[in-house]
Structure 1
Amino acid sequence: MNFSTRLRELRKKKGLTQSELAKKLNVTYRAIQKYESGEGKPRNTNLVALAKIFDVSVSYLLGETNVNPKFSIAEVMEELNEQRQEKTYKFAKKQLTEQNEENKIVQLSNSLIPYEVEEEQALSAGMGEAYTDEVSKEIVYWNKQVKHDRSVVIRGNSMEPDYHYGDVALICYQDSVDVPGGIYAVDDIERGLAYIKSVFVEDKYIRLVSLNDSEDIEGNRLFPDILLPRNENTRIIGKVVEAFTPIKKEY
């Protein structure tokens, strides 16, 4: 809808003649005729004044939008019967909830922190993950910034319920176990395997313990302890300081 049509519509809806509108706007009757015929347009100051007279936005007055932000939904609700009021309320409530969720996603996406994660050389929370010299990386996102030296994808489910397949483990380098039973990344150099486990240092071995204590039908643990010799072939990579499930970034 163009300006001239919208102006004529608003004037008639308000019950004003062209002369009465001209008087309110402090212009000539001929000026209003030109506005409504499309022969002329008011100056910016008169546009603002017209918008105030009709209680609409300038954009609505110009026909740039069919939505009048100054329109009161309360006025419509008062005209509806009780049953229709309830339907309108439920619909509006649903729209508001969806809008709030969309805003949360946008805000969250804008505040997400990128992490460069090793993909192929992922560490295992299972029976051991083989690694190679070729390391591909990908960017994943989380909403918390944590200081770390290395981030890797967890494979396997032996560390559930605390660590899940596909989670990202953040590791700070250290070559010793300072907390017995703490979660560490361990390198089995001889077999070319790496693990994320609860670690205990014993006299001759380093014991890797899984948090998942599930058993098979015969009562055997699905993830038994792993004993690695305390020698140059077993290396503590570092302590797991945090783990998270990546958040999908909305664009």
Structure 2
Amino acid sequence: MLFAERIRESREKNKLSQTELGEKIGVSLSTITRWENGKRTPRSEELLALAKVLNVSVAYLLGETDSFAPFDNEEKADINKNAKATPLNLKDYLRVPVITMRTPACAGEGNGLDYVELEAEEWDFLGKKSIATYDDMRPPFGVYVEGDSMEEMDIPDGSVAYVNPAEEPRNGECALVVYRGQWSIKGVFINKDGSVTLRAGKPQYNLEIPADVAEDPMWFKIIGKVVEVKTTKKPKSFW
């Protein structure tokens, strides 16, 4: 996960152990470990302290920029001003669960928030600007991408694709779908006869779904539109 990796990489660049970093910002070793494992996310004041100690911008830690810019004291005012806006106490971000493609999928009613949270491998931050519509009952989540079929569409193996179930993809846009019980990210084209074409970056992975199958939610379902992709290192194992 990008956020967790950036904490670890920034800490190592500053030649700090997890214990030393925890002491500098006033949290325990176990808290630092959970952040770097993606199992927990910091509160706004902890995020600010992290950025200051590691001398990077909050935007860099959150994955909003790849620029390794130094910490700016003006960020403190921005964070404090927006302190009550979200569960993260940051106005412009959502805390979202991240799961793997190997998570069992339900093609009927889809996977609700409770299910996704239960299966979450990690947690990350998603900028609200990536989301056009938000639904409390179907909130965004991230999925680790496994395979290279979408690399030509800038969704490489090991990246995290953020999916918003509240947004329906327009023809040609990428979406997370469930087909025959398997998760897949593809470009979605709904044809006039009701059939669906799923297009990959590599043509050999394209799929044609007949209309009668596409209309049966037990066989096929569009989970949501892919609204953002973050490139990150692939986990050592998905099992």
Q: TM-score, normalised by structure 2?
A: 0.43
Q: Which has the higher contact order (CA 8 A, sep 6+)?
A: 2
